[in-house]
Homo-oligomer: A and B are copies of this chain.
Amino acid sequence: MTSAPIELQAARSQPDRAAVAKAIAELETSFGDRVVTSQAVREHHANTISWIPNQPPDAVVFPQETADVQKVAHICAKYRIPIIPYGAGTSLEAHINAPAGGVSVDFRDMNKIVSVHVEDLDCVVEPGVTRKMLNENLRDQGLFFPIDPGADASLGGMAATRASGTNAVRYGTMKDNVIALKVVLANGEVMTTSRRARKSSAGYDLTRLIVGSEGTLGIITELTLKLHGLPEAIAGGVCPFPSVEAACNATILTIQSGIPVARIELLDELQVRACNTYSKLKLPEKPVLFIEFHASEAGVAEQSERFGEIATEFGGGPFEWTTKAEDRTKLWQARHDVYWAANALRPGAQALTTDVCVPISRLAECVTETQRDVNESKLIGPIVGHIGDGNFHVSLRLDMDNKREVEAAERFLERLTERALSMEGTCTGEHGVGQGKIKYLPIEHGTEAMAVMAAIKRAMDPQGIMNPGKIF
């Protein structure tokens, strides 16, 4: 496989304009006013929330069922033009851009919760359902879906990008919470990746092949997801530490001790300052951990006490925790609002949020070196981390008119990724590759693994029409 070219031809080339026009005409025959080609709608369906340029598709289609997506795929295959799935548009690495034009498939209208199986702790949903919609629907049944990437992303997009977020330390990532997928392939056929059974050893794990494939191997049109019972009790609180290292060491010991922490989030000093201002908190301006436990009443009390003892061992504390919903909500709202809080550090600036992930034993070193690098680069970049996973975000706020600053940010991003890779880490823990991290992938995986990925891509999408220009 070494001789195979890693870059896929079709991913980069612009399709024939006449072919695009014919494809749109055929789409209009099938879909009527559910095909939109206005500039505003096309631009809205490309990247809008990072510094990667907006590259709009040629048309946007709003399917209502799997058969509609098949129709789109058949037309795109016939004219060899790209097909790009669109969920809620919250991707940070421009997964929804159309660098080679083509048709964006917006799942706005495919937002039904098909079924909830309470006894099996699973549900079947369409890809346009967002995580908040799902959880609102589940609450009365005492269930919840734990994956929480912050944004109210669509579940189809979360599966396609292998999203995770604050609860991953306890509940895993999308790869751990998708049971089966219905997928429209490049040839317009539909496959189901697995049965609804909780586990299986029957053949290749097509579910996990599609999770994280970013629309490059097929388009998800239905998801079967694991659910969890709402915990009897939830306790949460904040704990300050003298240093990032102390916070990391307390986290390592907590996890080693088997304390089943549900969320454990690091905010560095700058992020704490931003949150104090934006969310009207009064936290000490030190590295802090936001922590949450899910268990019985007695369980969360015991876990909170034990965590408090561990924090003290490392010079942290006091750990103030509560089971009161009101107080916890205020805290986690502040955690979810770190993006807006960081914006307020420099109003009007461009946000550039990136993520890397390293083994937790290297996390303190990686975060500390990164903070030093941010300062030496004269950038503004608070840090928030899903510390239990070794995953953290640097959220730069840039003046895009300042060339020096933009160049400094580019060099900083290169160094951040190199640093993570040199520590056995990955260039992205949860944001995905999209367009933004393509160049790091061969460095991370090496020639052979990249050749295997490319061979799979060619085998499943020989024309290269599935979300081209992403991953490869």
B204–A213 CB distance below 8 A = yes
A189–B448 CB distance below 8 A = yes
A442 → chain B, closest Cβ, in Å?
10
A212–B205 CB distance below 8 A = yes
Q: Per-residue 0/1 for A166-195: is the Cβ within 8 Å of any B Cβ (1 yes, 0 no)?
A: 001000110110000000010101111111
A156 → chain B, closest Cβ, in Å?
15
Given contacts A228-B258, A446-B192, A205 and B202 within 8 Å (CB-CB): no
User: Inside 8 A of A172's CB, which chain B residues have their CB?
Assistant: 176
A344 within 8 Å of B by Cβ? no
Given contacts A448-B191, A453-B203, A361 and B211 within 8 Å (CB-CB): no
A458 within 8 Å of B by Cβ? yes
CA–CA, A274 and B358, complex, Å: 50
Query: From A179, which residue of chain B is reached at the shortest CB distance?
Result: B359
Given contacts A162-B201, A209-B208, A432-B201, A455 and B459 within 8 Å (CB-CB): yes
Binds B, one of A315-323, A405-413, A423-431: A423-431
A34 → chain B, closest Cβ, in Å?
26
Given contacts A229-B258, A252-B119, A452-B460, A202 and B445 within 8 Å (CB-CB): yes
A76 within 8 Å of B by Cβ? no
B1–A189 CB distance below 8 A = yes
A359–B117 CB distance below 8 A = yes
A198–B359 CB distance below 8 A = yes
A243 → chain B, closest Cβ, in Å?
17
Given contacts A197-B359, A199-B357, A258 and B206 within 8 Å (CB-CB): no
Given contacts A1-B185, A256-B229, A426-B195, A433 and B201 within 8 Å (CB-CB): yes
Instruction: Output the residue of A299, A428, A452, A458 with the most chain B CB within 10 A.
Output: A452
A296 within 8 Å of B by Cβ? yes
Q: What are 12 sample pairs from A and B whose C-beta atoms fall under 8 A apart?
A: A120-B359, A121-B255, A175-B205, A195-B424, A196-B359, A202-B426, A203-B445, A203-B449, A204-B213, A204-B471, A206-B449, A230-B258
Q: Assuming A161-B201, A299-B302, A456-B459, what are 19 further A-B pairs, CB within 8 angstroms?
A: A117-B361, A120-B361, A175-B205, A185-B448, A191-B448, A197-B357, A197-B358, A200-B357, A200-B426, A201-B429, A202-B426, A202-B427, A202-B445, A203-B445, A208-B208, A229-B257, A229-B258, A260-B260, A296-B302
